[in-house]
Chains A and B, each alone.
Chain A
Amino acid sequence: MKKTLLNKTVSRRAVLKGGAAVAGVTAVTGFPMVWAQNLKDITLNHTGMSYSTLPDIARQASQDLGFKVEMSVVDHPGLLNRLVQDPSSLDIADLEVWQSKVAVPQGALQGVEIAKIKNWGDLTPLYTEGTFAGKEVSRQGDAPIEFIYREGKDSNGFASGKTDWANFCPGVFNADTLGIRPDLVGREVNSWADLFSPDFKGKTAIQNIPTNGIMDAMMACEAAGLLTYGDKGNPTQEELTATIAKLIELKKGGHFRALWNTFDESVNLMASGEVVIQSMWSPAVTAVQTQGVKCTYQPLKEGYRGWGNGLGLLAHLEGLKLDAAYEYLNWYNSGWVGGFIAKQGYYSSNPKTAMANLSENERGFFYEGKAATADITSPTGEKTNSAGDVRDGGSFEERFAQVAVWNNLMDEAEFLYSKWNEFNAA
């Protein structure tokens, strides 16, 4: 038992000693025959939020990889809860970058060995280098580059520079903005300030998820010249108090038609015309469009609110299951997911393979900012755009060059939550 077929015991020892970590782990990949035979009995559990944890992905992965991949959908707090309280119940965590700030120090994840991710070099530098299109990306909020690297397999912290170990393998990402009903707004919308504009009194909504809602509110307050912020990615208590006071004032004045909690609520508010401008997620815009209602994901001059997901390996994975997990990470960025997820408006971290998995028309529409040459459909096949339409916000490059701030877990999060409760109760 000291020396199993897969050298498992030995490799773990080596890692624990901290010395020959890399040597120890590479020894695992010794026996392809045994590996292939036992692999089909493996089941990997991928747990994440509803927008990226899609059963279609699990189905395709199981088919392509020969072992079983399952999806479990949770909400944001639910994922943290599972990672902290019951980490053995999942194998792959599809976490948002800011969630790693809880998961990593808690020791829920093990490092991803970058050498084993075959297409790491092709992944977007947005994650791996902190740059995009040759320029440094915004560091306001929790930018992926600040949290992606760690010192070693079991180091449970964040490295300041590039290392050979990652906290997560880059997943899907996007840049969020406001959704509008171009047929009902009645004027041009080009600034976050329009969310608070008296022109839209009683016709706006903001998302009731404090960490995201506060970002939208701060973008709007700053754009409207109501408040200024040192760092919107990490506001002070005074800045939060002032922002929430403004929100409460607007709420009491009847500015918000509603606050939405779930994806479908945002879709219904927009599709029914109850609101004409609101916080929105990209697939919600797609969902409104599939109902035949015009809805635009409006680019704004102050830039976008960016967010990104990463796939983390749970600390308990070892041996064959860990090998399977690496296979899955490699598969995840090999193209199929990229092509699928592009149609709901998101981007894969491997633009190269994602683009290869789209038709020329789709590639032009989703990535290159070109007008569609034929109908564009959602991942499930419903029509979302007609020939001649151009995607809001232009090309992939134009969009991500303008990320102003990232979704984050601010230092004052607890304070924010209690303030947000006040806003809710007001």
Chain B
Amino acid sequence: MTSAPTAKRSMLPTYLQVAPLTIVLALFFIVPVALVVVVSFFRYQMLVGIVPDFTLKNYIDLLSNPTTWTLYRSTLKFTLIVLAITFVLGFWIAYFLVFHVRSLLIAIGLFLVCTVPFWTSNIIRMISWRPVLGTEGLINSALLKMGVIDQPLQWLLYSDFSVVVAYVHLFTLFMIVPIFNSMARIDKSLLEAAVDAGATRWGVIWNVVLPLSKTGIALGALFVVTLVMGDFFVVTVMSGGLSGSATSGIFNDLQFLNYPRAAASAVILLIVVLLIAASIFRLVDVRKELVR
């Protein structure tokens, strides 16, 4: 009989301790998302905005509109290309830093060098590609002067190419950091053991390093996927408005105060990203790996 009040008393501090985070999450995450879901079922009145009537029109409009599918196809295309490139770059850069640089100090120094681009803003990093890739930019004038080409290469800027360049530049670090973190925890004697057991250099990478880095790869992939899927600014600026993304559809709707349809797009995008995240976690049990 005396245990019940004791249990109650001991629970109180626990509740108090989780309360701040719960309140913050509820206020700044659950409530806004819930509002977005609610608004996505409201009706839109031309340039006036939201009319609180229940309707499925927004979802039907979106799903039956070929434009939505075109935008998603283009976003998925960019996501996959950027994922592949950032993975290859991120993996090898991390591998180099962890296993090839002997001195820890130099490794940390080089790692910091990777973050240098982040000392300026996103926008500057993106815009600065323009004078490099432009018709009268560095690359084109260099190639023209060397006589390699006689017409400037138009596909360098305002194209899918320039979008991918900007994404890779912006997001590779998000791949390097988690992979670096995973690799740094690999016991070096494992590699030696593998070599002693007769594994080739590639065999070590394939059978030891890669499986033991998969937490980092999964986390990096998650960062890159969410960043690319949620972007409209990079794609608009770097494609000169010629390519769109799933998010640029949302942006266009907001331009005309069509909040309900924008909310419906956001909900669909959220579901797609959650599905991708779920499948990544399915492949790698990140939580288990992290406590390893």
Contacts and interface: CB of A to CB of B under 8 A. Distances in A.
Query: Are A and B part of the same complex?
Result: yes
Interface of A: 76-77, 80-81, 84-85, 102, 106, 202, 205, 208, 210, 251, 254, 256-261, 265, 268-269, 272-274, 409, 413-414, 417-418, 420-422, 424-426
Interface of B: 46-49, 65-67, 70-71, 74, 130-131, 134-136, 154, 157-158, 236-237, 240-242, 244, 248-249, 252, 254-258
A272 B242 contact: no
B274 to A, nearest CB: 23
Contacts of B134: 272, 274
10 contacts: A76-B255, A77-B254, A85-B49, A258-B242, A260-B241, A261-B241, A274-B135, A274-B157, A421-B67, A425-B71
Contacts of B252: 417, 420-421, 424
Count chain A CB atoms within 10 A of each CB in B74, B236, B237, B254 and give the residue with the most. B236
Given A77-B254, A417-B256, A257 B49 contact: no
Contacts of A421: 67, 249, 252
Given A259-B242, A425-B74, A102 B47 contact: yes
Contact of A258 (B46, B66, B240, B255): B240
Contacts of B46: 413-414
B241 A425 contact: no
B255 to A, nearest CB: 5
B244 A424 contact: yes
B242 A425 contact: no
A208 B241 contact: yes
Nearest to B127: A268
B49 A84 contact: yes
A106 B46 CA distance: 12
A259 B47 contact: no
A155 to B, nearest CB: 19
B158 A425 contact: no
B236 A80 contact: no
B249 A425 contact: yes
Contacts of A205: 240
Contacts of A258: 158, 240-242
Nearest to B154: A202
A259 B241 contact: yes
A413 B67 contact: no
B242 A251 contact: yes
Nearest to B236: A261
Given A202-B154, A273-B135, 19 more contacts: A76-B255, A81-B257, A102-B47, A208-B241, A261-B241, A265-B237, A268-B130, A272-B131, A272-B134, A274-B157, A274-B158, A414-B256, A417-B255, A418-B65, A420-B252, A421-B67, A422-B66, A424-B248, A426-B70
A411 B244 CA distance: 26
B157 to A, nearest CB: 7
B282 to A, nearest CB: 31
Given A81-B257, A424-B248, A425-B70, A272 B241 contact: no
A259 B239 CA distance: 9
B72 to A, nearest CB: 10
Nearest to B254: A77
A208 B244 CA distance: 12
Contacts of B130: 268, 272
Contact of B136 (A202, A272, A414, A422): A272
Contacts of B248: 424
A273 B136 contact: yes
Contacts of A269: 240
A106 B48 contact: yes
A102 B123 CA distance: 34
Contacts of A261: 236, 241
10 nearest interchain CB pairs? A258-B240, A259-B241, A425-B70, A425-B67, A425-B244, A208-B241, A102-B47, A77-B255, A422-B67, A258-B158
A197 B18 CA distance: 66
Contacts of A273: 135-136
A254 B154 CA distance: 10
Count chain A CB atoms within 10 A of each CB in B134, B135, B154, B255 and give the residue with the most. B255
A173 to B, nearest CB: 22
A77 B244 CA distance: 20
A256 B134 CA distance: 15
A268 B128 CA distance: 12
A8 B18 CA distance: 54
A84 B252 CA distance: 19
B244 A80 contact: no
A21 B62 CA distance: 49
A185 B244 CA distance: 29
Nearest to B249: A421
A337 B44 CA distance: 38
A80 B46 CA distance: 11
A232 to B, nearest CB: 20
Given A77-B255, A273-B135, A426-B70, A84 B241 contact: no
A76 to B, nearest CB: 8
Contacts of B67: 418, 421-422, 425
Contacts of B71: 425
A269 B136 CA distance: 11
Contacts of A102: 47-48
A272 B140 CA distance: 13
Contacts of A265: 237
A412 to B, nearest CB: 10
Nearest to A77: B255
B49 to A, nearest CB: 6
Nearest to A269: B240
